[in-house]
A and B are shown apart, each in its own frame.
Chain A
Amino acid sequence: MSAAGLLVQLLNGLADASSLFLLSAGLSLIFGVSRIVNFAHGSLYMLGAYVAYSILERIGGTPLGFWGSVLLAALAVGAIGAMIEIVVLRRIYRTPELFQLLATFAVSLIVKDAVLAIWGIEDLLGPRAPGLAGAISILGRRLPQYDAMLILIGVVVLAGLHLLLTRTRWGVLLRAATQDRDMVGALGVNQALLMTSVFCLGAFLAGLGGALQLPREPANAGIDITAIGDAFVVVVVGGLGSIPGAFLAAVLIAEIKALCIALGTIALPFGLTIAFPKFTLVAEFVVMAVVLVLRPWGLLGKPQAAAVSAGPPETPLAPAGRAQKWLASAVFVALLLLPLLAGGNSYAIVLAIDIFVGVLFATSLHFIMGPGGMHSFGHAAYFGLGAYASALLLKAAGLPMPVALLLSPLGGGLGALLFGWFCVRLSGVYLAMLTLAFGQIVWSIVLQWDDLTGGSNGIIGVWPSAWLASKTTYFYLALVVCAACVLAIRRILFSPFGFALRATRDSSLRSEAIGIDVRRIQWIAFIVAGAFCGLAGGLFAFSKGSISPETISVSRSIDGLVMVLLGGVQSLAGPVIGAASFLVLQDQVARDFEYWRAALGVLILILVLAFPGGLVGALRFRLRRA
């Protein structure tokens, strides 16, 4: 590749860096002050693109109209952001961070359905910017004028934010609030107004980013998820709350991607080739993993004080009482009778198998999240690894199906062995983001490794052996495996290891001071959870007969979180009840109601705002008062 080509490629990278920065700056700003990781930030970005499209259609013909539309769209999104803060977030500043994440996730679900309802499912490509449709010639290569403009805008926004934060009264208050919000309140500053204005500005920036991206990329209802993934990575790499850090990270990531494209496919000795362009899908996550391991608080971030958990301390574990044991046995017997009552091939049986898989998935997630205190946002990775491991052992290695299923925990466990080693070095939001990153890495590897995984088509014909083929038999298999695993996980929680795991969560300081190797305990917990989760994936694969990269998607990880929180993170029965109710609910709602995502979002909001202890918590509260 020529020097000129490389230069233009790097300039292209800078334009991408600019839009990454616009996307992420608001997220970082909001986190710095409110300590809320705003999952709906990608949705605000998406809204920016759609709103800009609608305005551009009417007045976008002239340069003035174009830039006016972009600004109007950003302002509209800013207003929406302020509204979200006032209606939802203001109520949850004092709740544990997990609930905040979940609430903003719920908002993103509602926004997604709103976008689908208003603009439809088609991709919408915006017009080119009038006056900037051409290209600049650099050493014989062409750089789009619009890209040059984007680079300029990125730098202007960075400078503007810097001046705003350092030179204005509002900026001083904001920086003060970043350090100690209560103290700022004690000095007579209207905190509510400050928070609303920060959200408004953050949303404005996201909207601006989305609107500016429209001439480069079409708007579609999927960009919220990709955008939030990118923004998380940039913000975490740069250091949560640091605007210059976000800029630096955006440049780093975009330039590494640009380099990968510039390098192209390179031939190595022995007939091997490396296709660097393929690397772009995971590049940012690899950068993030490396940065987090070397600098756990990001490039320009500062160590965070441990999050103040607002929840009451958990009550000690009590072994199941007589009533609980009877109830569990009764449910088990009722399930044994279900095929007789409902008919062997009925829909109820299929749904029940899904529920067993979901229960095991959620219980394994709860193990590291509840007693372990490590919030995993990428638990689908272990599920997918288990599913793919058993499918490949069956199809590629030709092993009998029962053996392939039995080995599925190896897939999840080995994945957790590798990823867990990195994850336990971090805590809180950073840990959650790293798990998310690993989830995405697994997903994109599976998607791209066509020869092994079948790429986006996945693997088909993953059926159980003949003697397990009937739905009824498979139902019993799933029931027994699920019940045995849930009991085993419960048993582990009452064992010395389970106690040690809770000890590391309650106080890592005290744990170390009584000889507990905190990281090792947490690492092993990751592996245990990954292995059980892998088994859930194996059960899933054979129940569906085919698997695809969708098995590992972010939305599955999020479903798991919702299941655990729905049931209640402080209760051992929580994930079981949470998974069952979530799946029944999803099944009922999704079948009859077009906007089930929004409905789920509203449900989550109600849950977070009204029942922060989950279903089991609410039930216990009732019982105690009665």
Chain B
Amino acid sequence: MTLLLVENLAKGFGGVCAVDNVSFRLEAGELLAMIGPNGAGKSTCFNMVNGQLRPDAGRVLLDGKNIVGLPPHDIWRMGVGRTFQIAATFGSMTAVENVQMALISREGLLYRMWRRADRHAREEAMSLLERVGMADQAERPCGILAYGDVKRIELAIALANRPKVLLMDEPTAGMAPKERIALMALTRDLAHENGIGVLFTEHSMDVVFGYADKLIVLARGKMIAEGDRDSVRDNPRVREVYFGAGKTAGLHA
């Protein structure tokens, strides 16, 4: 069965059609890149898949179950992890506490009022931080970490629930080139090892063409192309959107 199936998704904001009839599928272990110019509707798509926005039309099937209309916290419990375009972590907690928070939530212990939270599942949290290369910063507050580091903490948080699907909105924005490659290589390894389907948006073409198994291209809310790297690279409509009509320059991998 397809892991994530999105059918005819649509959303308008007061007359502007932000996402119009978008459909795609994501298989386990696959990295699917969603690209397109600013305002193409990428983040809106993400927000509809994880429940932050309610679509006007369309279905989102996770393992065959329609998840449209569920709140984000329920969708997370069903196995959809997410990182944000502008990284969102808990600034008043240390890196390791941020991950522990997600683990506490996974175990369903959120309403316990007596046991110390900072002692809960510390080893597991540390090993997740280890996995994203942040173990040495575990005790530093997230509010003062460098932005690239916060993005990696976000990944560790998203992984805490052993997700089936990972939604990553511009995972490498604000990172140095070397860091980007490292983070994407890590993401690919995680996806392959654990059979996680990764849907990500990205403006860096190096990242997109280096790591995506498949691509979908949005422009003004509509899907204009989908396929593997080569077919998207050679697609004339994609070239038109990115470079304007009449140009012959190619996309570099």
Contact = CB atoms under 8 A, between A and B. Distances in A.
- Do A and B come together as binding partners? yes
Interface of A: 312-317, 319, 491-492, 494-500, 502-503, 505-507, 509-518, 521, 524, 528
B77 interface: yes
A515 B161 contact: yes
B181 interface: no
B13 interface: no
Given A514-B101, A514-B157, A496 B90 contact: no
B88 A499 contact: no
A535 B150 CA distance: 42
A512 B90 contact: no
B113 A514 contact: no
Contacts of A528: 113
22 contacts: A313-B91, A492-B113, A495-B115, A495-B116, A496-B115, A498-B113, A498-B117, A499-B100, A499-B101, A499-B104, A500-B101, A500-B110, A507-B88, A507-B89, A507-B91, A509-B52, A512-B52, A513-B72, A513-B88, A514-B161, A515-B102, A515-B105
B161 to A, nearest CB: 7
Contact of A313 (B71, B82, B143): B143
A495 B114 contact: yes
B66 interface: no
Given A513-B72, A514-B101, A517-B73, A497 B111 contact: yes
Contacts of B73: 511-518
Contact of A496 (B52, B91, B104): B104
Contact-residue bracket for chain B? 35 or more
Contact of A510 (B88, B94, B115): B88
Interface of B: 50, 52, 71-74, 76-77, 81-82, 84, 88-94, 97, 100-102, 104-106, 109-118, 120, 141, 143-144, 157-158, 160-161
Given A499-B104, A500-B104, A506 B92 contact: yes
Given A495-B113, A499-B117, A506 B91 contact: yes
Nearest to A309: B91
B144 A313 contact: yes
Nearest to B111: A497
A518 B74 CA distance: 12
B92 A514 contact: no
Given A313-B141, A314-B91, 15 more contacts: A498-B117, A500-B110, A502-B92, A502-B93, A503-B90, A506-B89, A507-B90, A509-B52, A509-B84, A511-B73, A512-B72, A514-B105, A514-B160, A515-B74, A516-B105
B76 A499 contact: no
B117 A496 contact: yes
Contacts of A491: 113-114
Contacts of B120: 496
Contacts of B90: 502-503, 506-507, 510
B116 A494 contact: yes
Contacts of B111: 496-497, 524
A524 B117 CA distance: 18
A190 to B, nearest CB: 33
A312 B92 CA distance: 10
A316 B92 contact: yes
A506 to B, nearest CB: 4
Contacts of B93: 316, 499, 502-503, 506
A435 to B, nearest CB: 23
B67 to A, nearest CB: 14
